[in-house]
Structure 1
Amino acid sequence: MLEDSFGRQFHYLRLSVTEACNFRCQYCLPDGYDGPSSDQFMSLSEIDTLLQAFASLGTSKVRLTGGEPTLRRDFIDILQLTANTPGIERVAMTTHGARMEKYASQWKQAGLDQVNVSIDSLDPRQFAAITGQDKLKSVLRGLDAAVSAKLEVKVNSVLLNDFSDSRLQRFLSWLKDMPVTLRFIELMETGDLSQFFSKQHQSGSPLKTTLENMGWQPIVPRKDAGPAQEFYHPDYAGKIGLIMPYSKDFCKTCNRLRVSAPGKLHLCLFSENGIDMRDLLAKGDVQEVVTFLKHALGTKHATHYLHEGKTGATKHLAMLGG
């Protein structure tokens, strides 16, 4: 089992397979993607070596992310490879959802268990203004397709300063009959968007108080769960989660590591610049990668230092998928 010097064990790998994305979300890529080309990202064989190494060290959950992971032409191959790696018990992915209506069943058949979809508003005009794409109706049809395919569905919504009570009420009405988990995520500062962060950051604490006053009750998380505090209400088919990276002791229960599409190990989403492991992956020597991972984990810090304005290598969230 991978364990750091603070006694935290790591069951969960967030694996970015591309940095490219065709949405233009205000808080991520407002000017569109202008990064490395696809030939600079890990190959299928390099991903295979990486997965075997992590699985041998006790990793049981892998999330495929990006950018938009489905933009890779070999995405289905990556998905099948991940699901068929011995030791990997749960496969998830994060997507903007625009391709989900067509492919949800195919992803399920390839081994996907869970899908997280970004929806920052249920108002079509507001959704288009935030994402740069007028595709809310298509994404919502994709959610229905994912639920029908028996995928566990979570919806991510970033809290911005214009988040209003009316937007919350619209989401709550939707959750009455929609069996998904809606997670509200505090905006996190990145290197390219520090001014946007200072204008738009909103704490999730007042929202948590509002939900508790409405009778929402906490859910005990699984060992491989992410950082969300999740809640249920007996009158709602859906659940609600809150991800508050600026809250006290947020990093205390960290259980996940990240690998970027170019093959860098990131011990944290923030606070460091990534450790290049591409040469090791290209060799295909699983044991050598295992040794590297054990050594690298000894340098993981206790916290992300976001409170100090340190964003590490993360210029924008598409680099590591959040």
Structure 2
Amino acid sequence: MQLIDNYQRRFRYLRLSVTERCNFQCQYCLPDGYQAGNQSFLSFNELENVVKGFVGLGINKLRLTGGEPTLRRDFTDLVAMVSEHSQIKTVAVTTNGYRVLSDVHHWQAAGLNAINISVDSLSANSFALITGQDKLKETLAGVERALEVGIPSVKINTVLLKGLSDKLSDYLNWIKDRKVSLRFIELMETGESATFFQRYHTSGAVIEKQLIEQGWLLELKGELDGPAKVYSHPDYQGKIGLIMPYSKNFCQSCNRLRVSSSGKFHFCLFGNEGIDIRDLLQNSSQSDDLKNRILHALERKPESHFLQQHQTGVLKNLSQIGG
């Protein structure tokens, strides 16, 4: 059994959200901070059955997301559980970085081999304004620690915000001697962020033009790579990635699926529905039923999202499904 939709897109990459909780108050996601509700997040056992089911459907890359996934006390155990599956070549996490400095060596020992750390500004004041946390120094120290312990893939996520983002030259100076991939992500509209989006959205095409003019070259995508257009330059150890969901044909190369922390299967961050699979996660004997439900649901995956028409689907904020 393979995960192939009606548009012949092959899905080998699962983004698995393990919590909606977050301890930052990023302006583009949770400006008022995480508001606890009555929802219960998937247990370790349920998450293990999600992983087993998707591995049986050919997933080779799995990213633990949130919210802030490292807030879970069993996070290191989750990494170890995922890495036990030899079919999964990339065991990744996306994090705001607050625990990287202290714990990344434990995660690496458990099997983590890819980490994305959010750094929305290299200016302490701007970082605090955007994230609600005066943690730039600690976050950057965490990046250095991830490089020191030898995590093979260290990526930096930077959301582009008109008037708030640093100058491109600042980022280029920072990555010149660091083997990181810094990815500029276009601000995406969600159900709760329409006003913020209208004020701060800017196109990544502006940065792409500057990169090309400065001699940066577009790299070919690998089989498990995400949607970023990655540029490299012979004078820089670091690379630049651009994630531009508002660009033409962005969804053509989609290779990822999502499961939320409440046990819903999602085709897309901006889809109109989530298929409940939690009832099939209680024990491993339900694995065949789980795989069949996923395969049948995938037949309904649309060709594209509709962000250009300001249709954001069920997504209220990026922590809800795992941004």
1:169 Cα deviation from its structure 2 partner: 1.2
Aligned to 1:282, the other structure's residue is in SS state: coil
Q: What amino acid sits opposite 1:81 in the alignment?
A: M
- Equivalent position SS for 2:167: helix
Matched to 1:209, the amino acid is K
User: Structure 1 CA distance, aligned partners of 2:52 and 2:317?
Assistant: 28
Match of 1:112 in 2: 112
Deviation string 1:148-202 (CA, Å, 9 cap, x unpaired) is 11112000000111156x6211111111111100000000000011111111110
- Which residue of 2 is the match for residue 59 of structure 1? 59
User: What root-mean-square deviation, in Å, do the aligned CA atoms of Structure 1 and Structure 2 show?
Assistant: 1.1
> Is 2:247 aligned against 1:240?
no
Query: CA offset at residue 228 of structure 1?
Result: 0.2
The DSSP-based 3-state class of the residue aligned with 1:42 is coil
Which residue matches 1:159?
A: 160
List gaps (5 residues or longer) in structure 2.
Answer: none
> Could you tell me which residue of structure 2 aligns to residue 266 of structure 1?
266
Letter in structure 2 aligned against 1:237: Q
Q: How far is the alpha carbon of 1:87 from its aligned partner?
A: 1.6
TM-score, normalised by the number of residues in structure 2: 0.97
Q: Which runs of 5+ in 1 are unaligned?
A: none
Give the 5 Å matches for 1:205-216: 205-216=205-216
Sort the Cα spacing of 1:154 and 1:210 in 2 relative to 1 into closer, same or farther, 3 A: same
Q: Is the 8 A contact 2:168 2:207 kept in 1?
A: no
Distance 1:163 1:137 in 2: 19
Query: Does residue 1:286 correspond to 2:290, yes or no?
Result: no
Query: Which contiguous aligned blocks of 4+ residues in structure 1 show a shift greater than 3 angstroms?
Result: none
Distance 1:233-1:163 versus aligned 2 partners, 3 A rule? farther
Task: Quote the sequence identity (%).
Answer: 49
Q: Which moved more, 1:99-108 or 1:279-288?
A: 279-288
When the two structures are aligned, how many residues end up with a matched partner? Answer: 320
Q: Distance in 2 between matches of 1:112 and 1:86?
A: 13
What corresponds to 1:98 in structure 2?
Answer: 98
CA contact (8 A) 1:121 1:167 kept: no
1:265 alignment partner AA:
F
- Structure 2: how far apart are the matches of 1:86 and 1:168? 39
1:312 deviates by 1.1
- The residue type paired with residue 112 of structure 1 is L
- The residue that corresponds to 2:41 in the other structure is 41
Q: Superposition pairs for residues 180-191 of structure 1, below 5 Å?
A: 180-191=180-191
SS in 2 for 1:15: strand
Is 1:30 equivalent to 2:57 in the alignment? no
Using the alignment, how far apart are the partners of 1:47 and 1:86 within structure 2? 17
Q: What is the CA-CA distance between 1:273 and the residue it aligns to?
A: 2.5
Residues 101-140 of structure 1 correspond to what in structure 2 (within 5 A)? 101-140=101-140
TM-score in terms of structure 1 length: 0.97
Residue 320 (structure 1) shift: 2.0
1-side partners of 2:251 and 2:36: how far apart? Answer: 29
